[in-house]
Amino acid sequence: MTDFDDVLRRQDHIIDRVGWAVTHVLPTDDDPDTTAPFAYTVGLTAHDRPELIVAGLPPEVAHILLNDLARRVYDTAERFTHGQRLGDLLVGYDAVIIDGAPADDLHPGLAIVRYGRDRIRLRQLVWPDQWGRFPWDSGYAYPTHVQPLLAHL
């Protein structure tokens, strides 16, 4: 349990300093091609805001995007809504925010441990393919496991 306690302590330090922390979940050697990497914030729940989550992107990209969104939520009290398009996050593309509950594919475990499952609300950042199509659009370029969704529009 010491390793887990260390993770929580390090996360506490980041949350105290910044207001939130970003946690990454990466595929294991057992399932490298069937599980999408994802990242999520921990700390926004304490300020009565939904945690943010994104799936299917490289960790460094996910980290930058989540920090950008979390900064907007934490520093300027920006509120995102289900179905909202964001044109100022990805160069040349819109992204979409969707609301949903924790799912098997997108399980924000450290946020749930910290705040309890009943307090966690999630907003997912959904990114388009190179033609601007989203996972719910016909012809989306990637299989569903690349960017699992909390919900659909």
Assess contact for 151 and 108: CB atoms under 8 A.
no
pLDDT tens digit sequence for 24-58 = 999 877 765 667 899 999 999 999 999 999 999 99
**Angle (nearest 5°) at CA 73 between 128 and 20:** 100
Domain limits, the chain:
2-126
pTM for the structure as a whole: 0.93
Assess contact for 132 and 94: CB atoms under 8 A.
yes
The predicted structure's pLDDT at residue 32: 58
How far, in Å, are 80, 119, 120, 127 from residue 116 at the CA level? 22, 6, 7, 28
**CA-CA distance, 143 to 117, in Å (whole number)?**
29
Positive/negative CA dihedral, 35, 41, 43, 48: negative
